Structure 1
Amino acid sequence: MHQNDISLQIKQAIQASDFDRAIDLAEEQVNSVPTEKKAEYLYLKAVAQRLSKNAQMATKTLDQLLELKPDHGRGYQEQGYCFIAMSLPDKAAASFYQATRFNPALLTSWQQLQQYYAQSNNTAALKIASEQCRFLQQLDRPLSGAMDLMYEGQLHKAEQVCRQYLQKNKHHCEAMMLLAEIGIRLKAYHDAEFLLESCAELYPDEPRAVQAYQSLLLKLGKFPKALEVIQKQKRAGASDRKLDLALASALAGVGESEQAISTYQQILSDKQDQPGVWLALGHVYKSAGQLEKAIDAYHQAARFRPEFGDAYWSLANTKTYTFSESTIATMYDNVQRENTHLEDRIHLYFALGKAYEDSGNTASAFACYSKGNQLKSRTLDLDIRRVERAMVSQQEACTASLFSETVGHMAPDPIFIVGLPRAGSTLLEQILASHSQVDGTMELHDILGIASRISGQKTSYPYNLETLTDEQCRQLGELYIRQTKAYRKGAPYFIDKMPNNFIHIGLIKRILPNAKIIDARRDAFACCFSGFKQLFADGQEFTYSLETIGRYYKRYVSLMEHWHQVLPGQILTVQHEDVLDDLEGQVRRMLDYLELPFESGCMNYHKTKRAIKTPSSEQVRQPIFQTGRHQYKPFIPYLEPLFEALGKKPEDS
């Protein structure tokens, strides 16, 4: 029987008050379906148990569910109902609060919180809950249903409902914003940007529409455009904390670090107790190379909110900070507390992993890295098979014949540094950005955006690369050069360091045939383990499991071999370990490939002053060092899933 039919049977049994049958059916499924499909049946089982007056047993089932899916909003809501049945109002309120964090569309959870806050005279929280209740109650039912589906991870169903609503209610502001948010979660960024830009133009007096648009621009790294949108609001007389925060973020994005710092300081001058602002200020200090000030800002964030996981992770993520015993104890206590938020727990586990690793406690370090990765991966919807298929499709679509004729925009300006994260690409960028003719920028989203832009055509991407006309290729190349101009400082060449662009080398060479491409390669074990212990701000979902990161690395190597075959001599592979062993030799080799004269500044790359926004920012401000080369070796006993995925062990290499 199809699983949808079984789910329907369980729901019908619950509606008929046949709770024993519902529990038995759900239990059968829990014991037979794969782990990733258990969540729905655990949830239904818990509902049936609570309704059969066995709330205590239901909470045990919910513990299983929330261990499996720690961001299951409805699971927390059900837990809240159980605690009400058990006469535990404070615990119930905590559960309803968690439910609204993971699924803000759960009206009944907000109503329960509204009642609780009214009884406890928490006026600030009551105001927020009441506003959210009013917002959800005034939404048309299809929109609230689509919102609920989105937060529960059923993105395609949510999109379908939303599009059907928009067909009947063209240009409905709330529906357009919701469809854009669904698009962002589906990584259809081009569609989402178009929707929000249209929404902001249609509804200039709706601040949420403009805020959503500028937030997406900031997320996509389109800082110049975001700055333009923000400054337009400023000129119109708009002034509030959210707008000032967006302004600071945009200023930092376009490299105006001092102005960004000044803006954050001004926001903090009104009120010091703003841990999120301290964190953002720390990030700007760090990218600008002011490490001591960054560390102080992160400490301030933790001082105002002691369980703030991101503050501790940001300290760990400097790669040079050493935690004190007392701070480690504070982090450990916070990560164990029941009411610590999921995002804080994830950050704390990664920070603890780094702290224990630095102190030589390998077993505790790996346990923390492992737990942090488990929690993070359970909040993601990664199918590594789909990712592998996407890379295979590039090999199928991009044969040598695709590049037999030179088309596209002939600008020689871009230098793409591609590869896996934590493979040494920031070091290569810093070396090359120390050359007088090369601008360093950041990890630009523009190629990913162009890939998204052409994905909706009749023939799917990348197979449609063959059908792009010469004129279309030229226009797309010009679009890339135009969009990236704002990140440049006037040098004839510039670097785009988005590592994931290795997947899109076929697209790059179709639209920018004279672009240079450097593949930053690192030893498989070192690269994969370094990725596994890194908590990324966004993306890189494949890194949160030893198996998936191993499979991804293996497929990346296969795809790069394909690019070398169909684009012979056009890609330079730079092995990280070779750079460590022979800096000058590799510097000269890269400059020869780029057809640039040797400059001694490239050898003294650590003295170059520029904003760097990747985790390696402090490491590349130091001369070459070897300490990171074999960091995985003490962890070898724990890395068997990685070795299996790679198909080799360290002793084999």
Structure 2
Amino acid sequence: MPNNPTLHLSIGHALKTVGKQAEAIDAYRGAYRVAPDFGDAYWSLANLKTYRFEEAEIEGMREYEAASTTKLVDRYHLCFALGKALEDRGQYAESFDYYERGNRLKREEVRYDWTRIDKEMKLQIEHCTPALFAANQGSGCRAPDPIFIVGLPRAGSTLLEQILASHSMVEGTMELPNILALAHRIDGRRRIGEEARYPANLAELTADELTGFGEAYVRDTAIHRKLGTPHFIDKMPNNFRHIGLISLILPNAKIIDARRDPMSCCFSGFKQLFAEGQEFTYGLEEIGHYYRGYVDLMAHWNDVLPGRVLRVDYADVVGDLETQVRRILDHVGLPFEQACLDFHQSERAVRTPSSEQVRQPIFTSGLDQWQHYDPWLAPLRAALGPQAEAHTP
């Protein structure tokens, strides 16, 4: 193999995607053998979720993370990997220290402002009214092909995708950027500090424009469809912020809200180093505020678009898989197939951090892992407010 750690890493990612875990592990190890302080190699091993680090690997990670010569990007990758390695060993205090350090370093890099996103969500509530949807009834592209799975990352969306994509009439694709790009396009170019035009300007769009946007979405996403099935899944979680737009341009699309207990969901996001996006996850306060905004916005969609979105709770799926599978298929309008219960036997490629977990039968061990870290989660509880104490209704 060549002396290029990035190439080893890319090979590992490709092998992981198609379920060849042993070969992926060899490739990731090959990456850090070429470049011992290459943080992404260690994080990629941790991100398998099922890999357990050896003592020598942990000591090596500690050494490189502490070295003054280690680059910032490698340092925060090493921090997240050490957090996972020590969590698996039950060393929760030290594990949290590394998770917190990695998040702090990443947060300083992305410079996320939670108030801006909070304002964007409130604008959706303000402008996406019953009157808007009533005025545009009958508009949009009538294609029933798309199934949107929305919510927060680490809320069980990959599991729901795997269940649905095991159906003979559904294809899983990936987290498609098309809706986010369309919202950005409708908003138009703005100067710094200039007020957003979207979503207020949704009321200005004509029926032909709405139909055209929907047709373009179906046409542009066709490149990701390989199986010729009637339906496909768009698993971009952030699409929950644009359910109004989706409903206007694709009125026959189905939408599923993957919901997870607030503390569990938020802390799971805090532990995750994402390849891109999801900047709100790199701080306990930031992710708590984001979760509250998400709950408020989903409640709004349920009010103004009753029956449009099916909420599926992760704990309910774990507790009674068949009942939830039948609910999901009824919502999508598909007949029951046993393969949806046997989703872990699917050989489809999975690109998200949960790829190895969804190749196993349902397990309950992940529901309350956050409780090991409860002594350090006061900022999250404060940001969540009433949401922290009970599962949202």
Question: TM-score interval w.r.t. the shorter chain?
Answer: over 0.9
Corresponding residue for 2:179?
447
Distance between the aligned counterparts of 1:406 and 1:303, measured in 2? Answer: 60
Corresponding residue for 1:513?
251
1:577 and 2:315 equivalent? yes
1:343 and 2:81 equivalent? no
Distance between the aligned counterparts of 2:120 and 2:390, measured in 1? Answer: 29
Distance between the aligned counterparts of 2:243 and 2:388, measured in 1? Answer: 30
The alignment yields a C-alpha RMSD, in angstroms, of 1.2
SS at 1:519 equivalent: strand
Note the C-alpha offset of 1:651.
5.5
Partner of residue 419 from structure 1, selected from 128, 151, 158: 151
SS at 2:22 equivalent: helix
TM-score, normalised on structure 2?
Answer: 0.96
Query: Contact between 2:262 and 2:388, CA under 8 Å: does it hold in 1?
Result: no
1:139-288 matches, within 5 Å, as 268=1, 272-288=2-18
Distance between the aligned counterparts of 2:390 and 2:143, measured in 1? Answer: 44
Note the C-alpha offset of 1:343.
0.2
Distance between the aligned counterparts of 1:456 and 1:442, measured in 2? Answer: 26
Note the C-alpha offset of 1:406.
2.4
1:300-319 matches, within 5 Å, as 300-319=30-49
Partner of residue 478 from structure 1, selected from 215, 218, 221: 215
Structure number, greater radius of gyration: 1
Higher relative CO (CA 8 A, sep ≥ 6), structure 1 or 2? Answer: 2
Note the C-alpha offset of 1:457.
7.4
Q: Structure 1, unaligned stretches of length 5 or more?
A: 1-267
Corresponding residue for 1:4?
none
Distance between the aligned counterparts of 1:507 and 1:630, measured in 2? Answer: 35
Distance between the aligned counterparts of 2:329 and 2:387, measured in 1? Answer: 34
Amino acid at match of 2:258: A
Distance between the aligned counterparts of 1:322 and 1:566, measured in 2? Answer: 47
Deviations 1:309-332 (A, max 9, x none): 000000000000000111000000
Corresponding residue for 2:295?
557
Query: Contact between 2:262 and 2:387, CA under 8 Å: does it hold in 1?
Result: no
Q: Structure 2, unaligned stretches of length 5 or more?
A: 191-195
Corresponding residue for 2:193?
none
Corresponding residue for 1:530?
268
1:6-21 matches, within 5 Å, as none
Distance between the aligned counterparts of 1:527 and 1:382, measured in 2? Answer: 19
1:639 and 2:377 equivalent? yes
SS at 1:471 equivalent: helix
Distance between the aligned counterparts of 2:388 and 2:52, measured in 1? Answer: 29
TM-score, normalised on structure 1?
Answer: 0.58
Partner of residue 466 from structure 1, selected from 203, 210, 233: 203
Distance between the aligned counterparts of 2:59 and 2:113, measured in 1? Answer: 36
Note the C-alpha offset of 1:486.
1.2
Distance between the aligned counterparts of 2:119 and 2:357, measured in 1? Answer: 35
Partner of residue 332 from structure 1, selected from 44, 59, 62: 62
SS at 2:369 equivalent: coil
Distance between the aligned counterparts of 1:504 and 1:652, measured in 2? Answer: 26
Amino acid at match of 2:235: K
Distance between the aligned counterparts of 1:650 and 1:573, measured in 2? Answer: 19
1:630 and 2:360 equivalent? no
Note the C-alpha offset of 1:401.
1.2
Distance between the aligned counterparts of 2:171 and 2:308, measured in 1? Answer: 21
Amino acid at match of 2:87: E
* Percent of aligned positions that are identical: 57
Note the C-alpha offset of 1:381.
2.2
Query: Contact between 2:292 and 2:387, CA under 8 Å: does it hold in 1?
Result: no
Amino acid at match of 2:171: D
Note the C-alpha offset of 1:609.
1.0
Amino acid at match of 1:625: F
Aligned length: 383
